[in-house]
Amino acid sequence: MHSRLLPLAQSYQRSGPAVLRVSVGIVFCWFGFLKFFPGASAAENIAVKAVAELTLGLIPDGLCLPLLALLETAIGLCLVTGRLLRIALAAFFCHMAGVFTSLILLAGDMWHAYGLVPTLEGQYVIKNIVLFAAGLFIAADDLTR
């Protein structure tokens, strides 16, 4: 059985990085695109709060969501197409740093008062660990080409 699956596994091993890059790009496009429509994104309120905290209120609330929508969609499109990939990955990792920083800056929104049990918003942020790991793999693949 193993020997029959080996060619399939080897084929996916070659195409896997591109599949992962495009998949992460689709996720970014999807969630970014939702932010263009007020009320469509489940993360919209926490995203606006996080940007306000991270920028010390320098970006007006009304501008936070469109800017995030543009950033996430642009990152996604670059990942999907493979164009401007290094710039997109730099933006991706900066974005992820902001996302994870919100776990500390917005602790009251991210964690229940009785311990390290995340709220729904906290869970939404924590799942980005998988996207971060995928981004590391995509970046390593790009750097070794």
pLDDT tens-digit profile of 1-59?
A: 577 877 877 877 888 899 999 999 999 999 999 999 999 988 899 999 999 999 999 99
135 pLDDT tier (thresholds 50, 70, 90): very high
CB within 8 Å of 119: residues ≥ 6 apart: 109, 110, 111, 112
**Collapsed DSSP state (helix, strand, coil) of residue 118:** strand
| pLDDT single digits (tens) 97-118 | 999 999 999 999 999 977 689 9
Alpha carbons 68 and 84: distance in angstroms, whole number: 19
